Amino acid sequence: MIIFIIENLHERGGGNLEVKILIVDDSKLIRSLLKTTLESELNCIIDEAKDGEEALFRAKLGGHDLIILDIFLPDVLGINLINQLIDIEKDWVPIIMITSAEDKNLLKEALEKGAIDYIRKPFDDVEILARVKAALRTKKLYNDLKEANEALKEMAITDDLTKLYNRRYVMSILGIEFRRSKRYKTPLSIIIGDIDRFKNINDRFGHLMGDEVLKNCARIIKENIREIDIAGRYGGEEFLVILPNTPLDGAVIVAERLRCKVSQYSIEVPCEEKPIRITMSFGVCSYPEAKIETEEDMLKAADEALYISKQESRNQTTFYIHGRFITIPKEAIRSEA
């Protein structure tokens, strides 16, 4: 799987991509020679700095794929800049030291502090290009692996069909949010939604059509909640929405908004004269609330509320309050609420 992702990343990258190189040396002649040599063989942008202060300023702008750093600068020993440059750059960047010094201890220290290679003055163009290309290959491999890891992480927490969070991840977030709510005494609400008569859709029109319904319901949910809210696929056709810092009345409004938005959605079906209408039922629970001591209690209450909505002719919202379940009449809250 990892190899497959990395290969895809290489395919997407393709070609000779432009790279950005920072040359740090107090000699204008050295900087000019390096720039000419690198630009002759590489598709690159060259940044220049004559001392440590300017090098740090350039690094703060970020985006460098390689830094070529002289050991001896007018205002600082280049070795002492290595950690600062690595910390300042927005991402890891390889550093090649350049020096005329014969002191092997300086080179040893530079490599121990994070430099990946060094070039001695006077330098040879062929050697410079070879070492720079090797460093850039290392940088590209790092970028590819980072992107692959991010893709794998996304895959690990995302439901492949709906692109919402998967059950395991959304449950872990609920645990975190419940503990935060309990600690700071802030309200927390959850909504469980279920697509009505979903089995009939699968049986009558096939699983591909059922998948389309799931994807569109997920899209509607995602489009109608806040950025801080968390939506996930809770089960087959069930969705869980976590609403941090939201009391019960606010959560009921959100549930009703989702219910009305879904009820306005229809899907065209081949060989059918009319598009089929989709509805969802919802159960809502909030904390703090009587008899709610854990996130499992919240889920149980919201699930029971959902069950009541299904029993009450579906396409309805039921919420739990003061040990009771109350079902809202379908037109009690306007869809634009």
Tokens 């990258």 sit on residue: 13
Q: How many other CB atoms are there within 10 angstroms of residue 175's CB atom?
A: 12
Instruction: Say if residue 196 is in the same domain as residue 280.
Output: yes
Which among 13, 14, 52, 48 is positioned nearest to 29, based on CA atoms? 48
d(CA 332, CA 199) in angstroms, rounded, equals: 28
* pLDDT score for 175: 96
For the chain, how many residues are written?
Answer: 337
Residue 334 parent element (H or E): none
Range(s) of the domain holding residue 270 = 167-328
Question: Is 237 part of the annotated catalytic residue set?
Answer: yes
Q: Are 323 and 290 in contact (CB under 8 A)?
A: yes
H/E element holding 163? Answer: none
Of the candidates 89, 177, 237, 289, the residue annotated as catalytic is 237
Distance CA 36, CA 25 (A): 15
- Report the chain's C-alpha Rg in angstroms: 30
Q: If we measure between CA atoms, which residue out of 38, 107, 37, 40 comes closest to residue 78?
A: 107
**Same domain as 321, residue 258:** yes
**Structural domain total, the chain:** 2
The CATH number of the domain where 281 resides is what? Answer: 3.30.70.270
Closest by Cα among 283, 219, 222 to 256: 283
Tens-level pLDDT at each residue, the chain (337 residues): 444 444 444 444 344 578 999 999 999 999 999 999 999 999 999 999 999 999 999 999 888 999 999 999 999 999 999 989 988 887 899 999 998 877 788 888 999 999 999 988 888 899 999 999 999 999 999 999 999 888 888 888 999 999 999 999 999 999 999 999 999 999 999 999 999 999 999 999 899 999 999 999 999 999 999 999 999 999 999 999 999 999 999 999 999 999 999 999 888 887 777 888 999 999 999 999 989 999 999 999 999 999 999 997 899 999 999 999 999 986 655 444 4
Instruction: Give the domain CATH number at 50.
Output: 3.40.50.2300
Same domain, 107 and 213: no
179 inside domain:
yes
Residue 335 placed within a domain: no
Do 57 and 118 fall within a single domain? Answer: yes
Q: Give the pTM.
A: 0.66
Kindly state whether residues 136 and 227 are assigned to the same domain.
no
pLDDT attached to residue 87: 87
Question: Does residue 62 sit in the same domain as residue 172?
Answer: no
Among the candidates 156, 191, 214, a domain finishes at 156
Q: Last residue of some domain: 156, 186, 211? A: 156
Boundary (domain end) residue, out of 124, 156, 188: 156
| Pair (260, 237) in one structural domain | yes
| Strand 66-70 with 19-24, pairing | parallel
Q: Are residues 150 and 172 in the same domain?
A: no
Residue 233 forms part of a structural domain: yes
pLDDT, residue 314, reads 93
**Assigned domain for 88 exists:** yes
Which tokens in the block code for residue 97?
Answer: 């030291």
